[in-house]
Amino acid sequence: MRIILLGAPGAGKGTQAKLLVEDLKVPQISTGDILRQAVKSETALGKEAKAYMERGALVPDGLMIRLIEGRIQEPDCAPGFILDGFPRTAAQADGLERALEERHQAIDAIVSVEVNEAELLGRLSARRTCRGCGETFTRKQASDSCPKCGGELYQREDDQEETIRRRLKVYREQTQPLIDYYQKRGKLMRVDGMGTVAEVFSRIRSQLRGTLAS
Ligand code: AMP
């Protein structure tokens, strides 16, 4: 099963992707996590991506498409994958389609997780991330260390207000048009992303079940 999770920063894509991984037994591919890891390890990719990420801009399409082409060919992706944070532009969506066509594969479902902008701003500015495992928490839930692995919790550089506003603008301008792109291909599921994590997950599951059954 190959799924794309679409949605603005803060819509809950990462959280829902992790739940889907357990449910569907396919890996999550979070381009944001891959890039943050690359920045931390100071790889060539990380060095190239760092400045774009810090200012809330998108990393160039060519780099991202090559990254995904490589990742989806790894053996753990044979049964499928959940893309979280990719594609984010029309060029990336085209690049993904080409890469899958070459392998005689296709995306089964695109899930658009929809949350209003006031809520996104609130969620992102309250978000704390673990340096160790990458898990996210809200400021209210969190102490100084991660309840899961004990790693240090911090506020991502790009979760500060000015950068959040820029990321939301980039989303509106470059990523939101993909909703139309996929709607025309008839595989889009729109899911209300407001409410608890469990409520949103149950909406996603019931819609996916409908898609798979048809
Ligand atoms: P995220 O964790 O998904 O919000 O991603 C954090 C940052 O990584 C984004 O603001 C971008 O700078 C970069 N990034 C992640 N995925 C992509 C992508 N598909 N295309 C371009 N840049 C990306």
Ligand 1 site: residues with CB under 6 angstroms? 9, 31-32, 35, 52-53, 56-59, 64, 85-86, 88, 92, 158, 167
Beta carbons within 8 Å of 15's beta carbon, 6+ residues apart: 136, 197
Among 18, 25, 73, CA closest to 200: 18
pTM of the model: 0.92
Whichever domain contains 104, its CATH number is 3.40.50.300
Say what percent of the chain tops pLDDT 70.
Answer: 98
Give strand pairing partners of 114.
192
Angle, in degrees to the nearest 10, between helices 177-185 and 90-102: 40
Amino acid at the residue 22: E
pLDDT class for 213, splitting at 50, 70, 90?
low
Instruction: Please give the tally of structural domains in the chain.
Output: 1
CA–CA separation, 48 and 157 (whole Å)? 17
Give the range of the structural domain holding residue 43, as residue numbers without chain letter: 2-213
Peptide bond between residue 27 and the one before it cis (omega within 30 degrees of 0): no
pLDDT class for 211, splitting at 50, 70, 90?
confident
